[in-house]
Amino acid sequence: MLENIVELLIEWYEENHRILPWRASKNPYYIWISEIMLQQTRVEAVRPFFERFIKALPQVEDVAVCPEEQLLKLWEGLGYYNRVRNIQKAAIRIVEEYGGRLPADYEKLKDLPGIGNYTAGAVASIAYDLPVPAVDGNVLRVYARIMEDDSDILKQSVKTKVEKEFLEIMPGSRSGTFNQALMELGAMVCVPNGAPKCEQCPVAQYCQARAHGTALDLPVKKKSKERRKEEKTVLVLRDGERVAIRKRPSKGLLAGLYELPNLEGYLSEEEILSWVEEQDLTPLQIVPLVDAKHIFSHVEWDMKGYLIRVAALEESADPKMIFAEIREVEKEYPIPAAFQAYAEQIQMRLGQDKYR
């Protein structure tokens, strides 16, 4: 069954693929960075992040020596900051062990920090023409529908099975094109969250889910356990143009990033003002802001916010607290998107918004 789709998909891809900056060459560094960025983000959203990252760090060697705060700032807005930390760890090894060029070896690529089967397969096949599969969510969805397979695609055993089946049909030196064709088909035609565009599919004649009307039932994903909910009170402390931020701990969620000061639970205005005074600050006004929510992989933050104007932001009892002008924060300090709603209240732009 699967062997029948290879030539048709390659021909379709060569005529219909999107023009993307990381596809302009077979640069393994570009492919690696783009694939890590694309793991949780849509292609069009990734494009400006990718271009900014590559402009600032055009070579693997540049990533290896980049100061952490600059690295996190370049990643701001993409989330999953451990991914860019792993990129740097891998870059250091690539420089030390491979002279600054990603190895043309699937197993050696998998041995690098943050690079799993999929990313290794993408780099190995697209950059180096090695006949190995690159199975991501798009490819799993295409497979599940073509084969009408109702296995839970979130299980590693299912992914391993699919990788093995695609490995058997890899078309030699055109494996990179085939892998990209599968990804493109899943992104543009055999789409998630809705009806697939079967009338545009170059391999529709071989699709068992289309033949039996089961496409909307596939792929199967078993529900994961519910996220833990945390209530937080977020404080926007201001005196004129300056705003208070503080650095998060070096380990744990959003490690090493900067945040707007926040407190566990929902606090009353009296409790908030008391806390502000404990920071050796003089509150002049407190104004409720919008409620906001931010969802991480396993945790959900439900937030209430307050704008607090203070007499002067000069020194605080908290040594981790920093007072800076809003434009300085935008430029120098990586702030996670979890605080987007409150940044907007003071016209502070985060992530890609700064470059529009």
Residue written as tokens 């833990």?
228
- CA 191 vs. chain centroid, Å, equals 19
Size (the chain), residues? 356
Instruction: Say how many C-beta atoms besides its own lie within 10 A of residue 186's C-beta.
Output: 21
User: How far apart, in whole angstroms, are the C-alpha atoms of residue 207 and residue 237?
Assistant: 58
Q: Say whether 35 is catalytic.
A: yes
Residue written as tokens 């599940």?
144
- Taking alpha carbons only, the member of 73, 41, 74, 39 closest to residue 55 is 74
Tokens of residue 139, six digits: 């490819």
Q: For residue 353, give every residue at least 6 positions away whose Cβ sits within 8 Å of its Cβ, in sequence order, or none.
A: 77
| Phi, psi angle pair for 321, to nearest 5° | -80, 135
Instruction: Say how many C-beta atoms besides its own lie within 10 A of residue 194's C-beta.
Output: 7
Q: For residue 277, give every residue at least 6 positions away whose Cβ sits within 8 Å of its Cβ, in sequence order, or none.
A: 283
Answer yes or no: are the C-beta atoms of 203 and 196 closer than 8 Å: no
Tokens of residue 310, six digits: 């203070």
Answer yes or no: are the C-beta atoms of 32 and 121 closer than 8 Å: no
SS3 for 61? helix
- For residue 21, whether the previous peptide bond is cis, meaning omega lies within 30 degrees of 0, is no
Point out the catalytic residue in the list 11, 15, 35, 230.
Answer: 35
Answer yes or no: are the C-beta atoms of 141 and 215 closer than 8 Å: no
Among all residues, which ones are annotated catalytic? 35
